[in-house]
Amino acid sequence: MRQRALKVHPINYSELHTILQGKRLIAFDLDGTLIDSVPDLAVAVARTLDELGLPEPSEAEVRDWVGNGAPVLVERALTWALQAPPEPSLQQRAYDVFMVHYGAAPNTLTTLYPGVKQALEALHQQGLTLVLITNKPERFIEPLLKHFELLDYFTLWIGGDSLAEKKPHPLPLLHAAHHCQIPPAECVMVGDSRHDMAAGKAAGFTTLALPYGYNHGEPIENSHPDLVLSSLTELLLNAPLATKVVG
């Protein structure tokens, strides 16, 4: 977990979507929300299984396994390759191999989703506090943010191994709100998966969803977010209207 000194600025709500009125903090997921990291994850998974003498999955298969952190990704890959749950010793070995392969090339094929940098820049300029809450291991967060020149937008970033719990548990979100001294009712969770929505609701955050990420093949609408966005730029004034989800 990395954090920076808090800088409090007046928020200019006149340039923001109405759902952000009265909000002071926005927490963003990373994989599937800001970046499409599956191509690099798929390569690392394939190299891991190949090193273990196991069949390699397609990128499309890996896409449905992402979202619960690296240990679960590796477990799902092994279960697919073995057609049975892996032994703990094999899972640990595979995880160690995966971390080496992914750590060697975490941003070769990974791309930033359209509108992400524009939206983060505008939200930061309007005075909102931005934090990053991901289930990705913490060691990979800062290099990826630096690579895409996003580091300066975030006050705090929390990885899946930074605290005792990770999403869908609300602890990372509540920790961020407490650290930034902002009540959960004035916070927003933006993500692409049911785990983001569950964590946001449990923490008392407003939940905003993006449909283009990784949600295990399920429509994100099934998680009943407060709002579905097609792009982060919809949070800015005069952007196309998003689709409200009721229920």
Catalytic residue numbers read 29
Contacts of 95 (CB under 8 A, 6+ apart): 70, 71, 74
Cα separation, 72 vs 55, in Å, equals 18
Question: In the numeric block, which tokens belong to residue 224?
Answer: 């009943």
Q: Which amino acid is at 240?
A: P
Pick the closest to residue 110 from 45, 35, 42 (CA basis): 35
Strand intervals (E) in the chain: 2-3, 25-28, 35-36, 111-112, 129-133, 156-158, 187-191, 206-209, 227-228, 243-244
Which amino acid type is present at position 137? Answer: P
Cα angle 117-110-86, degrees, rounded to a multiple of 5: 130
Q: Measured between alpha carbons, how far is residue 144 from residues 40, 77, 226 in Å? A: 12, 23, 29
Instruction: Please give the full DSSP string across 59-71, using - where no structure is assigned.
Output: HHHHHTT-SS-HH
